[in-house]
């Protein structure tokens, strides 16, 4: 197999095709500390793209409660169990990726979920990591008892397992933005892609008999707008844009700043080897760092420290970028923080949004002179 460089695991690895990065790569950062599992993103996607026949069970975007929630059932536990115990050393992954651990005659280590695995999209919702008993404390930080929400979409991976596995070459990665798509005219429903994607973000349509997946709302992205699930996010947890490799990182680009400069956002299961392009700010309240490291790799402690610093007012730049998330439905290419405000700019350098780092307090007099009426605070 050809060798490609995967910066998230700090080394070269085997991949089915030669490495060829797109001209630019879409990506997103999700702040798990702000997600409230309202599922607005899920429904925004569902009503836009998957309300047809054969798509009933599809959630291109889903939000699951960790540690128990998963859709399809136990997708993460099952692939990690198949891979077996592996280890990191000084930021370099020493274990096998799912490409390197592929059984003889296969391109990727994976499994095909059964129909029933898709039966309960929100199983484990709001369940804590352990039962409540007298020995457990939930007043101190980080908590002994915890759960957190993990929103998930296709990661539009740099080395997609779905693409590598398809014998029909029906899945492709766009040169112009790195979005991974299924060519529906080529697909013959072999489902190798469903078996190979460890995140289980390709779905088989039993009516049309072809594979379907998140398209990163490319018609919107092409016009400079954010995908549906991003711009409807109630918790404003989602930063979206284009991301570079660490060597080409632009500190004025919000994605590069979060991932490469402050290193506050981490990939999901980087050890699998796909170089996923959706990143997560890990939850600060979770008492089990080993669990977080299993999910997000070795950078967890550093990311949490950087995040806390911003929340304590010691890093206005980081705070500013985080406040720009979902402040506009346009794609932000560059940002700047100055004078207590954060500004976002479009591709041409035009300012498209401006937010204060601290919301002003406005005291409104009960009598509105203009309309001659009183307004009472009834809360």
The footprint of ligand F3S (CB under 6 A) covers 166, 168, 170-171, 182, 187-193, 210-211
What's the closest the beta carbon of residue 270 comes to ligand F3S, in angstroms? 24
Q: Are 175 and 22 in contact (CB under 8 A)?
A: yes
What's the closest the beta carbon of residue 212 comes to ligand F3S, in angstroms? 9
Count of H helices and E strands in the chain?
10, 19
CA distances from 219 to 72, 224, 225, 281 (A): 28, 9, 9, 27
- Contacts (CB under 6 A) with ligand SF4, residues 29-48: 44-45, 48
CA angle 50, 55, 56 (to 5 degrees): 100
Which of 163/261 has CB closer to ligand F3S?
Answer: 163
Q: How far apart are CA 352 and CA 247, in angstroms?
A: 28
Q: What backbone torsions phi and psi does residue 257 show, to the nearest 5 degrees?
A: -60, -45
What's the closest the beta carbon of residue 219 comes to ligand F3S, in angstroms? 21
Which of ligand F3S, ligand SF4, none is residue 233 near (CB under 5 to 8 Å by kind)? none
**What residues pair up with 181 in beta bridges, in sequence order?**
172
Which of 44/102 has CB closer to ligand SF4?
Answer: 44
Which of ligand SF4, ligand F3S, none is residue 153 near (CB under 5 to 8 Å by kind)? ligand SF4
Q: Are 20 and 275 in contact (CB under 8 A)?
A: no
Q: How far apart are CA 207 and CA 197, in angstroms?
A: 21
The helix or strand, by DSSP H or E, that contains position 99, with its residue range, turns out to be: none
From the list 115-123, 134-142, 199-207, 306-314, the region that binds ligand SF4 by CB under 6 A is 199-207
Q: How far apart are CA 341 and CA 111, in angstroms?
A: 48
* Residue selected from 16, 75, 199, 333 as contacting ligand SF4 according to rule CB under 6 A: 199
Q: How far apart are CA 147 and CA 137, in angstroms?
A: 14
Binding of residue 162 to ligand SF4 (CB under 6 A): yes
For the record, the structure tokens of 136 come out as 């457990």
What's the closest the beta carbon of residue 204 comes to ligand F3S, in angstroms? 6
The helix or strand, by DSSP H or E, that contains position 163, with its residue range, turns out to be: helix 161-165
Which of ligand SF4, ligand F3S, none is residue 9 near (CB under 5 to 8 Å by kind)? none
DSSP label at 378?
-
What's the closest the beta carbon of residue 217 comes to ligand SF4, in angstroms? 4
CA distances from 125 to 43, 122, 190, 263 (A): 17, 6, 32, 29
- Contacts (CB under 6 A) with ligand SF4, residues 269-288: 274
Which of ligand SF4, ligand F3S, none is residue 214 near (CB under 5 to 8 Å by kind)? ligand SF4
* Residue selected from 153, 265, 306, 326 as contacting ligand SF4 according to rule CB under 6 A: 153
Tally of CA atoms within 13 A in the half-sphere of 180 that contains its CB: 29
Q: How far apart are CA 232 and CA 358, in angstroms?
A: 23
Which of 185/363 has CB closer to ligand F3S?
Answer: 185
Which of ligand SF4, ligand F3S, none is residue 155 near (CB under 5 to 8 Å by kind)? ligand SF4
Binding of residue 156 to ligand SF4 (CB under 6 A): yes
- Contacts (CB under 6 A) with ligand SF4, residues 13-32: none
Which of ligand SF4, ligand F3S, none is residue 192 near (CB under 5 to 8 Å by kind)? ligand F3S
Q: Which parts of this chain interact with ligand SF4 (CB under 6 A)? A: 44-45, 48-49, 60-61, 153-157, 160-162, 180, 197, 199, 201-202, 213-217, 227-229, 274
């Amino acid at each position: 197999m050809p060798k490609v460089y995967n910066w998230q695991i700090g080394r070269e690895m085997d991949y089915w095709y030669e490495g060829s990065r797109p001209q630019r790569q879409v990506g997103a950062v999700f702040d798990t500390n702000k997600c409230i599992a309202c599922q607005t993103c899920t429904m925004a996607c569902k009503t836009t793209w998957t309300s047809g026949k054969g798509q009933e069970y599809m959630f291109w975007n889903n939000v699951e409660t960790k540690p128990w929630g998963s859709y399809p059932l136990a997708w993460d536990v099952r692939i990690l169990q198949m891979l077996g115990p592996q280890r990191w050393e000084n930021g370099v992954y020493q274990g096998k990726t799912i490409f390197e651990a592929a059984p003889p005659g296969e391109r990727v280590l994976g499994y095909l979920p059964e129909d029933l695995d898709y039966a309960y999209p929100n199983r484990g919702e709001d369940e804590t990591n352990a039962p409540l008993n007298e020995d457990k404390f939930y007043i101190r930080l980080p908590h002994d008892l915890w759960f957190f929400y993990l929103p998930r979409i296709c990661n539009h991976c740099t080395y997609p397992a779905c693409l590598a596995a398809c014998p029909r070459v029906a899945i492709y990665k766009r040169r112009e933005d790195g979005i991974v798509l299924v060519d529906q005219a080529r697909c013959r429903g072999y489902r190798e892609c469903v078996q190979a994607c460890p995140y289980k973000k390709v779905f088989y349509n039993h009516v049309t008999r072809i594979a379907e997946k998140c398209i990163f709302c490319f018609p919107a992205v092409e016009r400079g707008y954010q995908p549906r699930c991003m711009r409807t996010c109630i918790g404003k947890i989602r930063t979206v844009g284009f991301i570079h490799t660490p060597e080409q990182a632009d500190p004025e680009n919000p994605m590069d700043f979060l991932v490469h400069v402050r290193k506050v956002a981490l990939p999901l299961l980087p050890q699998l080897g796909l170089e996923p392009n959706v990143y997560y700010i890990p939850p600060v309240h979770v008492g089990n760092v080993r669990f977080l490291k299993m999910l997000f790799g070795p950078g967890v402690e550093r990311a949490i420290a950087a995040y806390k610093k911003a929340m304590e007012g010691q890093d206005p730049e980081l705070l500013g970028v985080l406040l720009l998330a979902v402040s506009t439905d346009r794609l932000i290419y560059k940002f700047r923080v100055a004078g207590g405000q954060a500004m976002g700019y479009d591709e041409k350098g035009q300012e498209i949004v401006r937010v204060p780092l601290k919301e002003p307090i406005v005291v409104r007099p009960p009598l509105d002179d203009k309309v001659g009426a009183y307004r009472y605070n009834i809360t």
